[in-house]
Structure 1
Amino acid sequence: MFSFHRIIAEQDLTPGVTTLVRSEEKAKLLETLGLKAVVGNLNDLELLTSLAEKAHVIFSVADADNYQAILALLRGMKKRHETTGDVSVLIHTSGTGYVKGYIVIPSTIYGRANHKLVQAGISNNQSDQIPKLISVALQRGIAGMTGKGLSVWPDIEIGELSDLYYILLDGILNKNPAVGSGVDGYNFGANSEHQWYDISKGIAVALHELGKVKSDDPTSFEKEELTTYFRYEALGYYLGSNSRCRANHSKAIGWSPKKTSEDMVKSIIPECEFLAMSNLPTSNLKETLTPKSIKVPSATPGWNLDAWQYVPEEKSAPYTVIVMAHGLSGNKTMGLKQFAEFFVKMGYAAVVFDYRRWGSSDGKPRQVLKVNEQLEDYRTVIKYCRQQPVFDPNRIVVWGTSFSGGHAVCLAAERNLNVFAAIGQCPYLGETVAPSYNFTFLKTAGCAILDVIRQSLGFSPLLINATSEPKTVGVMNTHDSKAGMDAIVRNVEGAEYPNTINASSVFELGSYSPKDKAKNIECPTLIVHCLNDSLCLTPGADATATASPHVQYETLDTNHFSIYPGGDMYEENLKLQKEFLQKHVPV
């Protein structure tokens, strides 16, 4: 919002402005300024389309590279044009006959904002590149640069960039003939140039004087450091490339920036002082692994989802977050803590939750399986994460195990949900052991039918064993089901397992086939299948693996329960997931 404060400062525009923000807290603050606020994010594609359909001018300033978000905005503008004939205005930050497009391409932004939105706690007051290099210097103990730092980039002070947005909007609304659109609508936000060495040297000197690094000279990043600090090696090399421009269009419409690269170098000192004093990472691993208990409002009014939120304090926010839930008839105490702690040690955040009616979450009747409800709970927690400033809304990984492993596959296939990656370990994908048509089967079927009747009449559900020995009534009664689940409970400290489920859950299981959704998967998805699994059979995993080129299929020569904490293939399972995350979702 650094570019937005000039616009809302104009009282005649304020009543007609709608803002999209990620948290209820910021929405309330914006409303105190006379603005309409909608809670959501760039992954809420239907919401973006709806908002765009209602707007004449749209500022897209959050993420230049979110292709799906821009398509959603364009769909809304097209609907508006078809309905009203209005030609909408799109002002996009660096990123059709029914839209007039204007693109603002900022350069290296520097300085700290201190306008009304910052003071109200709504807007971030920092840019990205220089604070990132300062944070990296604090982590490695010496300032760094790509190569010799000889690459040349343009720069602009944060307040003067804000002026460009305002002048552009003013020119559009007042039909300034100098303001071009389409191919003539590129407006660079730049006023001078610098070499990256100058920035790295300025960081080195400032932090050395503060006693935070060991030298006042920067050093070149090693190849492996580029991945460590910039997520991708290519992003590190990006800082070693040249980026040059001239702001001719911008200045032709009346924009007149004054500050130069000398001002940029001077701005490094207060940035270093702020980050060195207030944003130092902690190395207290014990605190890192202590989750915060949270309540996430579910889709059912009055029912909250109980969750544990972990953040890797040794990394800086916003964090890539892994959203995790339990399998059939389980709850989050049954080994999910150990998986979450493993991910946190790798540098990821994790949010682990219980579904409605299960574990510590609200909802009655208890221990009742509703597949659609569980999928909805995943979406609810994902939306919650996208609204938290501590998490990166574009880097959410959905994780599931056993029955929820199938949920992970279904959610990965939901293109509107737009998750970054997915992991399903020993996932239920729609293929399970065929029932034996014996007396046990008849008793189980009878219980299931009776449960349907009871619940339809408003009575409490008929609960049966979730796991049981072979030839006894239970939803999971293969040769290793009861012993395997007992082993999880025995091996995991604090695990609680009622071992009950509504009898009619067998009908839900029979109609649920995640493998049929897999063809729509477009994000990296890991399937870890157990070859000796008696519950989640190989044909389902095979079908899922071949349905989409984005599925990575790994197998372990073990049973369904041995990949959990205490099992003989637990470490091998973790290794596969670690390699997948490091390759596709590096932090």
Structure 2
Amino acid sequence: MRRDISVGSGGEQLAVWHYPGAGDALAGPGGRPCIAMAHGFGATRDSGLEAFAEAHVEAGADVLLFDYRHFGASSGEPRQLISPAAQRADYHAVIAHARSLDGVDPDRIVAWGVSLAGGHVLQVGAEDPRLAAVVALTPAPDGLAAMRVAIARDGMVAALRLTGAGLADLGASLRGRAPVTVPTAGPPGSTAVLTAPGAEERWRAVVGPTWENNVCARVLLQFGGYRPGRHAAKLTMPLLVQIADLDQTAPPAAAMVAARRGRAEVRHLPADHFDVYPGGPHHEAAVRQQVDFLRRHLGAPVAAASSA
């Protein structure tokens, strides 16, 4: 059964669910592996990730599922502020905490991310070569590529409206005023960030009670320059990249480029971006691929112990 814990990061307190692993299937001389797990753009830990965590717990791994600072049950003002650098720092803080847990093998920690976080973990893995594995589900490793897709679909006028909101929010922050926000998800052509056809409906089907449909708009001014996939070539640990071939939100081509750089094990799903969440047609397949990957790469200590 999961328990609530708190992890410090950058002067804030991250709300974390600790799920202890079930059984000894992945246990080794140093303990069980542990997965640091977080969500994508503007999302919270209660928005469809519990099922992924529970599947890995059943397989035998601990999981630390957390909210970034400024989101969900974590601290941080202003609320709904996305900072890719701060979110990566939150990953590192949770990973460090995982290494201190009783019963967890500090050398078998996994960074797991979906969507925007699927990009984060590529850079986190490059920054922490001690990680045992990285899992990137429907990753967004190239903000510029994602922006180009959105502009081609929604037009330049929508892009200019979002840029204007970003500038207004930046100006508000410099003057100490309340943030200017934009919707996280909305219909195509709207002044929202995620506007692929069907995205809002599919997203609302899985979000939890702490999710809010807005983010501080200033993140849009830096998103095009955020390209964590460029760091994938530095990864030294096993990497699983799961690509939704029909993804209208995170371009599959950009994910494939990052996967090649990281010498990844690639799994293709005939899915759109939100089809991998609980209730979606490709959720079970995505989970099976992850569990199989982690069993193969994290189960070695069991075999070594048995042989000894």
Query: TM-score if structure 2 supplies the norm length?
Result: 0.90
Deviation at 1:314, TM superposition (A): 2.5
Whether contact under 8 Å (1:354, 1:361) holds in the other structure is yes
Matches within 5 A, 1:51-130: none
Q: What is the match of residue 6 of structure 2?
A: 295
Whether contact under 8 Å (1:335, 1:495) holds in the other structure is no
Q: What is the match of residue 354 of structure 1?
A: 67
- Structure 2 distance, partners of 1:508, 1:428, is 14
Deviation at 1:333, TM superposition (A): 0.3
Matches within 5 A, 1:148-547: 290-300=1-11, 303-315=12-24, 318-414=31-127, 416-430=128-142, 431-432=145-146, 433-435=149-151, 436-489=154-207, 494-547=208-261
Deviation at 1:459, TM superposition (A): 1.5
1:331-368 residue CA offsets vs partner (Å, 9 max, x unmatched): 00011111111001001110001010001000100001
- Structure 2 distance, partners of 1:400, 1:463, is 24
Whether contact under 8 Å (1:320, 1:348) holds in the other structure is yes
Deviation at 1:388, TM superposition (A): 2.1
1:181-223 residue CA offsets vs partner (Å, 9 max, x unmatched): xxxxxxxxxxxxxxxxxxxxxxxxxxxxxxxxxxxxxxxxxxx
Letter of the 1:535 counterpart: T
Unpaired runs of 5+ in structure 2? 303-308
Deviation at 1:313, TM superposition (A): 4.5
Query: TM-score if structure 1 supplies the norm length?
Result: 0.48
- Structure 2 distance, partners of 1:381, 1:448, is 30
Counting aligned pairs with the same residue, the percent is 29
| Matched positions, count | 290
- Structure 1 distance, partners of 2:295, 2:205, is 30
Which protein shows a greater Rg? 1
Whether contact under 8 Å (1:296, 1:304) holds in the other structure is yes
Deviation at 1:474, TM superposition (A): 0.6
Deviation at 1:505, TM superposition (A): 1.5
Deviation at 1:480, TM superposition (A): 2.4
Q: What is the match of residue 170 of structure 1?
A: none
Whether contact under 8 Å (2:22, 2:61) holds in the other structure is no
Letter of the 2:225 counterpart: S
- Structure 1 distance, partners of 2:209, 2:288, is 24
Deviation at 1:387, TM superposition (A): 1.8
Give the alignment partner of residue 563 of structure 1, picking from 251, 272, 276.
276
Letter of the 1:515 counterpart: G
- Structure 1 distance, partners of 2:21, 2:94, is 19
Deviation at 1:440, TM superposition (A): 2.6
1:152-187 residue CA offsets vs partner (Å, 9 max, x unmatched): xxxxxxxxxxxxxxxxxxxxxxxxxxxxxxxxxxxx
Whether contact under 8 Å (1:488, 1:561) holds in the other structure is no
Matches within 5 A, 1:18-57: none
**Aligned Cα root-mean-square deviation (Å):** 1.5
Mark the CA change 1:304 to 1:462 in structure 2 (over 3 Å): closer, same or farther: same
Q: What is the match of residue 78 of structure 1?
A: none
Q: Which has the higher contact order (CA 8 A, sep 6+)?
A: 2
Deviation at 1:542, TM superposition (A): 1.6
- Structure 1 distance, partners of 2:106, 2:56, is 18
Q: What is the match of residue 306 of structure 2?
A: none
Letter of the 1:464 counterpart: V
- Structure 1 distance, partners of 2:59, 2:3, is 18
Whether contact under 8 Å (2:172, 2:178) holds in the other structure is yes
